[in-house]
Structure 1
Amino acid sequence: MTSQAPLHHDEDPAFEWTLPGLHLKFDHRDDRPVRLVRLAAAPEAPSAAAPSAIVEVITAGVEHRDRNDQGLLYSTPGQRLRYAGHESDETELRIRQRTPEFGIEVLSVFRAAGPGLQIRHTVRNAGDRSLVLLSVSSALLAVPADGAHDLLWGESEWLAEGRWRQRPLTEHLPDLDPAMGDGRHPRGLFSLTSHGSWSTGSFLPTGVLAAETVPSIAWQVETSAGWHWEVAQSGSTVTVGVHGATDTHHQFAQRLAPGEEFTSVPAGLCIADGGRDAAFAALTDYRRAIRELRPVDARLPLVYNDYMNTLMGEPSTEKLLPLIESAAASGAEYFCIDAGWYAALEGSWWTSTGEWLEAPERFTGGLSSVIDAIRANGMRPGLWLEPEAVGVESPMAKRLPEEAFFQRFGDRVIVAGNFQLDLRHPAARAHLDGTVDRLVDEFGIEFFKLDYNRNIGPGTEVDADAPGAGLLGHTRALRDWLLGVLDRHPGVLLENCGSGALRMDYNILSVSHLQSTSDQQDFRKYAPIASAAPASILPEQAGNWAYPAASMTLEETAFAMTAGVMGRLYLSGFLNELSAEQSALVREAVALHKDWRHGIAQSHPVWPLGLPGWEDDVVALQLDFGSESLLALWSRGEAAEVALPGLRGRELKQAYPVALPEWTIRTDGETPVVELPAGPAARIFTVQR
């Protein structure tokens, strides 16, 4: 452990912080706030940064901006901040600023995490009257507006998650001559904003500025509440602004009494040399660095779930027993009983959530008999929960106090027949703690699939200055609750579902084991989702459903299984109905995944054909382990030849499926060229350097 540097108050207007793989330089003067002027991999390496302030703060009762602008830059309080000292150690740099004029103090914390930085800012009311915050930035970084960068962003929706776009930045922020506008600054802006309580329901909280000639940067917002990121034109630079909830976008406001504090949501920021794939590789390593890993996570077990294209929320003993036997025979290590296990046969599993007691008429001998069958077949049991939802037909809707639910305008919020619990309330927390503890103690549950199927809107007004602040408080309490579950039950695994992947963010994923990547039921459309998933989440967390069906051909069966192998294989389907040839393909995919899963957990994603388009006939994903890789190719159109110049000089060998014809691979010079048949068809190859 290095010794902690003292808090500096000297007159030197510049200071640096250097760690392995990171070099930051800041400056400050009496007439401006602290600026980040250099961000690089090493002191001698090229910098990704142009000089810019490190934080923006917008408050009520003060002119929002020093300039007429569309974005969240040049906030009046932010521009008035002045340096008050800094300190550092081997993992954190802490910079203090204050503005006596507005009674604001800001502590900015830069935490090293792998090749990146996790950044947050704490605003303290140092004045003698209340202060209302309307937004606090999480991360700011300016880069030269030299036309070298492509902008990458992700769009998402139910059943079509993770559709990435890559465009030259100049398409969105055209080159403008300030001299032709009386010297005024341009106001160009590209921005993405979350909507309601699905943090990834429309867009992904991740972006990249990729370049080949200068360092690339990548960022993510780590919140399950409101977020906003923007790339704004500002003279000779463009500034990436990463924000949590704001008044403008999410009905956020936080009142601070004298002495009170508010901390922004974390943001991850990475730099890399080498363009798009290098930026995502750095982001992948950063995500691994911020996870709260436990020994049970390291096993990376294979889970079968009875929902997708199978029981769809209608489990029973008679339906489950054949699935349990066939899942075990296929190589599954956990068996998760999904939605409906608590719902009466005549009731609705959708609107009866909340009490989490088994429905005895569904299970001959009770739910425990099914759990016993899971264990007798060598697997560990799991259950589906939607912890924040209380159905309108649930007894808990009347049993819990009004203040334990989200409310707007004095009434409970109701969406799709459900209320939402507010985990800031002790009664809500106690109910869920009791539920999980009881299910673990009574049934020995070792896996929970935690779902979140409703966008509840901007938030709650209970114990909050604005709905967006209530939602943020709840989601922070949700993460704390998850950590409490893991502390009490260190052998239990948690899946984050979020209605497919509509709440897929690293507020939750940093403490979760697995993320369902979609609710997509068409195996042909799952290929672009599975291929793009590692841009948003770690490959080892990407729970790609593999749901073979008896109606599929052998080629279609292999196609469906390929998505699962190239992430975390999440098995489903009526495996008991498959032919012997189909079952062999399933077992082969499971065995291949088990052979490679620990390598996948150290891999970096590469897209040899670029990030997939939703309608692409050919989709490709490479998981690179350094000396070797796995490469998946999916064919969804006519027969075609695909050249892979990024794999020049490497040897490709078909690894899956061995029972189906090998695809022809030839070389053009040293570039591999693969001949693909008409789809649907897929193959997995090993790639040797």
Structure 2
Amino acid sequence: MANGFSWGNDALTLRFEWDDGSPVTISSVEATTEYGGTVKAVLDHRIPIVEMEVAGTGHWIACDKLIHTTLGRDLRYVAHQESEDMARGVRRLDIEVAAPDQGVAVTVTYELPDGIPMFRTFATVRNAAVPAGDGKRQAPLSVEQITSWASAFGAPEGQRADLAAWKSIEGKYDWLAEGRWHAMPLRDYFPDMAEELTNVDPRGEHRVVSTSTWSTGRFAPLAIEESERFGLAWLFQVEHNGAWRWDIGEDTADAYMALTGPTSVDHGWAKNLEPGESFTTVPASVALGADFDGVVKAVTDYRRAMRTQPDHIDNARPRVIFNDYMNTIYGDPTTEKELPLIEAAAKVGIEIFCIDCGWYDDSGNWWPTVGEWLPSKTRFPGKKGLGEVIDAIRAAGMVPGLWLEPEVIGVKSPMADKLPDSAFFMRNGHRVVEQERYVLDLRSPEARRHLDAVVDRLVDEYGVGYFKFDYNVQPGIGTDVDSDSLGDGLLGHNRAYLDWVDGVHRRHPDLILENCSSGGMREDFAQTSRFQVQSTSDQQDFRLYPAIAATAPMMVLPEQAGSWAYPQSTMGVEESAVNINTTFLGRYFLSGYINRMSDEQRTLVEESIAQYKKYVQPVISSSTPFWPLGLPGWTDRVVSYGLYAPDYALVTVWDRDCEGGTVALNLPKYRGRETTVTPIFPDHGVDEWPVSWDAAHGRLAVRVPGDGYASRTFLVAPKA
């Protein structure tokens, strides 16, 4: 290539190249590793930095891939500009490319936070056609798909790229079964077809697609591509709370990856641009490292750096939460039920007390009556109504919280008739109805004003300091109101919702927000970057939950991951320990009738919170997740998850009725060092699990008893 430049910082460098007859491509990516080394992926197989289709164009190889587009191939370099946001510590690069004869100009943007080998990227396409002089209306530029990122996988310098050297680590999601991660060799997706004999790249792809608004309802918008042979790993994620797609595939010369938001073929999306109008893709982000652990650390650091409220009061010291729903009140709150729970919660050390669904309902059926958000008078019959309960929470030294499902209006809610049709998702003149709820369209000023008034009233009148924002339905493909396509209406709503959340934070900067969508159905970074707490599941079986809790930090920060613990008075010590350890290395998130427990049972909960505040709370916001036994499978009998804190590691082991025996936990960071190993929860009143440390291999051997459900959390501290 005749032209090129390098851009980046001390953590990551991108090399761009082009010539007069070729589009701009990335020729190499170089990144620092956790231990001070560097890795470099050389991309000899060149893919344009943006691939796109507009009406009237297509692929230059007949296929349904996100790459090989004729317009992507035809775009040519125009200019580039570097800048820096000093306040955020983020460098920015804008590269402008264009196809003037087709009236298309695109600016591809890269944002790189200081010291982190992971960057964000997105593209802005503009209709650059010159209006016709005869006054006739020109056809708009109709965009049907455009990538936020596309590149080859590459190989180390001097080695030949090889798809067979890679495996893909991907996550499947479902309600009550979030975070089921698995690894697949790429050659299992793409058989060797001898395509080089045809001189045409393969036409298929491994396509992962999410539709509507549960962005993690089926699959994770994140994957890791790892090659042990090459000593390279890529991590990529689509940062979007709606419809998205990512592909990996084979070109004859190398593997490729491509990320995008909604597309015409997958989501019924198209965006029409008149001359001078522009459209910006949803963001994606990409990390390069030497291995799985390296890119997990990179994405963890990136998430902390790129949060929209990085200095929020709750970030550094995530407070302990009690919520009255799971395996407890189940959406039937009353003054009589709440006051004993509030008293018990305060005594064991809870810092935030959240009243879940039903607080607004007088009918006895809280589901279809949501939307007006006025406190029930029958549930809270005292003179101060709900205020009596909230005052009790505050008097006990806790932050009061309320559940809201802001994006829906129940079909039996008074607001269903008070708001116009334009405030809702509509298709063919009908409101979209899903399980007795209408879905608000946050592009609507009326919908926004209603929700702003609700939040402001509850904060100003009651002093609510915590909201659990839930979301239990989704509106399908989109809305045809004020949109170029159904998918365009959906994308507009997705972005308007994020803007609404940003507005809540601007008006109430200390307000703590929890992101819940029937559990973990929206764990994308567009959402989680704006919330302090992330609900990981609605799973009610404590024997199944460890696999969900242990994998949650693949998608969210450890300090955000609110996995339910719901010990009950009917449980023994070991069952209670399994429950509590499920939340212990995340955001401590308690439920259960602690007011009905014996003194011994309540003391166990109190001790767990004290240990959490001593060992976890001070360090969790600077910790890095790791998995001593690898990412767990859904049915694994032994599950383990850990956090590397600055001065020690915390490791939880769950015995899920295994056969017993010794398990070897890998802590490679401490290889070659002597350590002390201390059980911190439960740390007395239970059988000891013998442990031994193998410094030479960095392994902790733990004797697991088997024959039942039990759990322990250990502190592993390297000696000076």
Matched with 1:5 is none
Q: Deviations over 1:81-106 (max 9, x none)?
A: 00001011341011000001211100
Matched with 1:116 is 118
- The whole-number CA distance in structure 2 between the counterparts of 1:242 and 1:471 is 18
Matched with 2:212 is 196
Matched with 1:16 is 6
Describe the SS at the equivalent of 1:41: strand
- The whole-number CA distance in structure 2 between the counterparts of 1:339 and 1:358 is 11
Q: Deviations over 1:304-360 (max 9, x none)?
A: 11111111110000000011011111111111110000011x342110000000111
**Equivalent AA in structure 2 for residue 602 of structure 1:** S
Shift of 1:514: 0.5
- Equivalent runs, 1:417-496 vs 2, <5 Å: 417-496=436-515
**Equivalent AA in structure 2 for residue 115 of structure 1:** P
Task: Tell me whether 1:675 sits opposite 2:694 in the alignment.
Answer: no
Matched with 2:184 is 167
| Aligned counterpart in structure 2 of residue 336 of structure 1, from 311, 330, 354 | 354
- The whole-number CA distance in structure 1 between the counterparts of 2:660 and 2:445 is 60
Shift of 1:41: 1.2
Is residue 517–residue 533 contact of structure 1 (8 Å, CA) maintained in 2? yes
TM-score normalized by the length of structure 1: 0.96
- Equivalent runs, 1:276-675 vs 2, <5 Å: 276-292=292-308, 293-298=310-315, 299-344=317-362, 346-365=363-382, 366-595=385-614, 596-637=616-657, 638-646=659-667, 648=671, 649=673, 650-659=675-684, 660-667=686-693, 670=696, 671-675=699-703
Task: Tell me whether 1:249 sits opposite 2:266 in the alignment.
Answer: yes
Describe the SS at the equivalent of 1:631: strand
Shift of 1:70: 3.3
- The whole-number CA distance in structure 2 between the counterparts of 1:205 and 1:288 is 18
1:236–1:286: structure 2 CA closer, same or farther, 3 Å change rule?
same
Matched with 1:33 is 23
Matched with 2:93 is 93
Is residue 175–residue 537 contact of structure 2 (8 Å, CA) maintained in 1? yes
Q: Deviations over 1:468-517 (max 9, x none)?
A: 11111111111111111111111211110011011121111111111000
| Aligned counterpart in structure 1 of residue 147 of structure 2, from 134, 137, 148 | 137
Which shifted more, 83-92 or 45-54? 45-54
Identity of aligned residues (%): 43
Shift of 1:42: 5.7
Is residue 439–residue 474 contact of structure 2 (8 Å, CA) maintained in 1? no
Q: How many residues align?
A: 675
Shift of 1:645: 4.1
- The whole-number CA distance in structure 1 between the counterparts of 2:599 and 2:226 is 47
Q: Deviations over 1:268-299 (max 9, x none)?
A: 111111x2122211111111111022332233
Shift of 1:673: 1.5
Describe the SS at the equivalent of 1:644: strand
- The whole-number CA distance in structure 1 between the counterparts of 2:641 and 2:507 is 38
Describe the SS at the equivalent of 2:520: coil
Describe the SS at the equivalent of 2:553: helix
Shift of 1:78: 1.3
Which shifted more, 557-566 or 284-293? 284-293
Which shifted more, 667-676 or 562-571? 667-676
- The whole-number CA distance in structure 1 between the counterparts of 2:627 and 2:184 is 16
Matched with 1:125 is 127
Task: Tell me whether 1:71 sits opposite 2:65 in the alignment.
Answer: yes
Is residue 559–residue 587 contact of structure 2 (8 Å, CA) maintained in 1? yes
Is residue 196–residue 252 contact of structure 2 (8 Å, CA) maintained in 1? no
Is residue 150–residue 209 contact of structure 1 (8 Å, CA) maintained in 2? yes
Shift of 1:60: 1.4
**Equivalent AA in structure 1 for residue 487 of structure 2:** G
**Equivalent AA in structure 1 for residue 532 of structure 2:** H
Task: Tell me whether 1:102 sits opposite 2:102 in the alignment.
Answer: yes
Matched with 1:261 is 278
Shift of 1:232: 1.3
| Aligned counterpart in structure 2 of residue 53 of structure 1, from 31, 48, 53 | 48
Shift of 1:388: 0.6
Describe the SS at the equivalent of 1:397: helix
Q: Deviations over 1:65-122 (max 9, x none)?
A: 1112231111121111000010113410110000012111000100003321010100
Q: Deviations over 1:576-626 (max 9, x none)?
A: 111222212211221222222231111111111110100000000011124
Describe the SS at the equivalent of 1:47: strand
Matched with 1:3 is none
Is residue 55–residue 136 contact of structure 1 (8 Å, CA) maintained in 2? yes
Describe the SS at the equivalent of 1:95: strand
Describe the SS at the equivalent of 2:622: coil
1:102–1:490: structure 2 CA closer, same or farther, 3 Å change rule?
same
- The whole-number CA distance in structure 2 between the counterparts of 1:681 and 1:536 is 26
- The whole-number CA distance in structure 2 between the counterparts of 1:170 and 1:188 is 13
Describe the SS at the equivalent of 2:601: helix
- The whole-number CA distance in structure 2 between the counterparts of 1:669 and 1:494 is 42
1:461–1:576: structure 2 CA closer, same or farther, 3 Å change rule?
same
Which shifted more, 293-302 or 519-528? 293-302
**Equivalent AA in structure 2 for residue 107 of structure 1:** T
Shift of 1:47: 2.2
- The whole-number CA distance in structure 2 between the counterparts of 1:194 and 1:138 is 16
Is residue 8–residue 112 contact of structure 2 (8 Å, CA) maintained in 1? no
| Aligned counterpart in structure 1 of residue 257 of structure 2, from 226, 240, 245 | 240
TM-score normalized by the length of structure 2: 0.91
Matched with 2:158 is none
- The whole-number CA distance in structure 2 between the counterparts of 1:199 and 1:131 is 28
1:668–1:447: structure 2 CA closer, same or farther, 3 Å change rule?
closer
- The whole-number CA distance in structure 2 between the counterparts of 1:514 and 1:255 is 37
Which shifted more, 187-196 or 75-84? 187-196
Q: Deviations over 1:352-386 (max 9, x none)?
A: 00000011110132000001111111111111000
Unaligned runs of 5+ residues in structure 2 are 85-90, 132-137, 155-160
**Equivalent AA in structure 1 for residue 304 of structure 2:** R
- The whole-number CA distance in structure 2 between the counterparts of 1:295 and 1:32 is 46
**Equivalent AA in structure 2 for residue 56 of structure 1:** E
Is residue 32–residue 117 contact of structure 2 (8 Å, CA) maintained in 1? no
| Aligned counterpart in structure 2 of residue 220 of structure 1, from 229, 232, 237 | 237
- The whole-number CA distance in structure 1 between the counterparts of 2:56 and 2:47 is 25
Is residue 527–residue 563 contact of structure 1 (8 Å, CA) maintained in 2? yes
- The whole-number CA distance in structure 2 between the counterparts of 1:669 and 1:195 is 48
Unaligned runs of 5+ residues in structure 1 are 1-10
Is residue 148–residue 214 contact of structure 1 (8 Å, CA) maintained in 2? no
Shift of 1:45: 4.0
